[in-house]
Chains A and B, each alone.
Chain A
């Protein structure tokens, strides 16, 4: 169960996920070092979301192992994995629409999550400050008391990122954080993620190449469920295999 090669925070070892014979992930190997910021790209259907599902325990790998901090987390339930320190932001913003941004954050903020703790305990001043701080970071102080369902798409994206940060996980898995954001918001998101890296390990899945370039992070390209290549944005962009999977064999235009 446990492996000793633990310089890495997260290790995916030969992970294969088969949905009725269709291989969503095919012998995927990937490692993240503590404090790393990593971007993952890949064409539609490359298995990016399944890859996150495997790490967070939503999908059980058919073969292979997922090792977090030297410990296999295959078979653990989602909430257990989350408590170990893996947080996730979803592709479409998933905030609790009927709760206010403040209450969204108060649910997410790190601390005991059992029924008794929520009923009989109250938020510590540290947790309260954290929520207040995050509200101001994402600029939702003025909307803090209205249901989150009324927020704009971009505000929901930011709220969900704030919820992820409130959880204070060691590993942040961020699925398409800038989909539907303006250029300015995109740039701010990139800054935020870069700030988080170092203290946290951040893995970003994104289609927006400009954003990935902004991150100045190593890029992993997924294709048909396995890692096609890894390297800097420039290396990846000029890799003929990447150009092929993104644009097909006929065209030779640059990926942009």
Chain B
């Protein structure tokens, strides 16, 4: 059994088997409320993947991902508001403010195709433009963080104030809208949305893996570690940063759209400052630069948040702050980094069960020797990079 588990093949497809199994079993096992929560948190994993791309890999700490998240949510919500309206009818809230005709920018959102594209293209374009202007002027580090947060506040205030355009503070409700004749808020629809979220999260993860595994990913890491050095090698970091920031924006948009239909509403609260900071905390706790850590962090922290808030309201913020401190002080590479660096065995050692010591530590711990052993076991692995 141990041999079987250690075999490369199994390790390759076991995670996928678990995902498929989870996607099939969880909707049966979990009550609809819990399943809906899981779907929501999983969709937050997609925005966290984007944060990991730009922060974990490229070293740009954006505190403004909420902009792109909300833009995706609004795009889908506008479509749902318009969907299955009779000709000449307007979404309900417009009558409150005496708006008689549909604002021009709403018009294209009547088309499902346009909406599906705009969910990720609009955030990507906004992120690309914003990013290009910032990166071209070589604004980095805390200045970049402050700028993104300022941009977030601008969007937040703008959306809050536009009652006549997008219902301002109240946001747009989606739970009572219908699609394919079924209520979005219904259990059956939510189960479908859960599956859709699983599929898109996996797709987003694979996209990020593809981006980070090759030389493109190496260039991102090089930007994070020594950007001037990369310039002198003939690379233009502005292009890379713009691309990756736009990709993170697109992921945030998809995430926001999925989150919106599973929460039943999109509102300017999605652009609130604390929410965008929380996205960073998910990634930090899960593990920067690991991708899977971003998804895990988002799901675990949010699930913990909802459980703690049910049992002990008012304490969650302290726990979240404590978690962040713990990660900064003790787990700089997050949970996934801790796991990969042999954290569990060290923890067991702390309570009195030290791991078996190597007979020839210098030999056993030498990465070169380990690499050669691996190569002997898998002659093919050595051929790949």
Measured CB to CB, the residues of A under 8 A from B are: 56, 58, 77-79, 82-83, 87-88, 90, 94, 96-99, 102-103, 106-108, 113-115, 118-119, 123, 142-143, 145-146, 150, 163, 167
Contacts and interface: CB of A to CB of B under 8 A. Distances in A.
B135 interface: no
Interface stretch (B103-111, B212-220, B276-284): B212-220
Contacts of B215: 103, 106-107, 118, 123
Contacts of B371: 145-146
Contacts, number: 81
Given A90-B229, A96-B221, A143-B368, A118 B214 contact: yes
A58 B225 CA distance: 18
B385 interface: yes
Interface of B: 211, 214-216, 218-219, 221-222, 225-226, 228-237, 239-240, 243, 367-368, 371, 385
Contacts of B233: 79, 82, 87, 107-108, 113, 163, 167
B333 to A, nearest CB: 12
Nearest to B224: A98
A118 B232 contact: no
A119 B240 CA distance: 11
B372 to A, nearest CB: 9
Nearest to B229: A94
B368 A146 contact: yes
Nearest to B222: A96
A119 B225 contact: no
7 contacts: A79-B235, A87-B232, A98-B221, A99-B218, A103-B385, A118-B216, A119-B216
Given A94-B226, A96-B229, A98-B225, A106 B234 contact: no
A79 B231 contact: yes
A114 B239 contact: yes
A113 B235 contact: yes
A167 B233 CA distance: 7
Nearest to A84: B234
Nearest to B372: A142
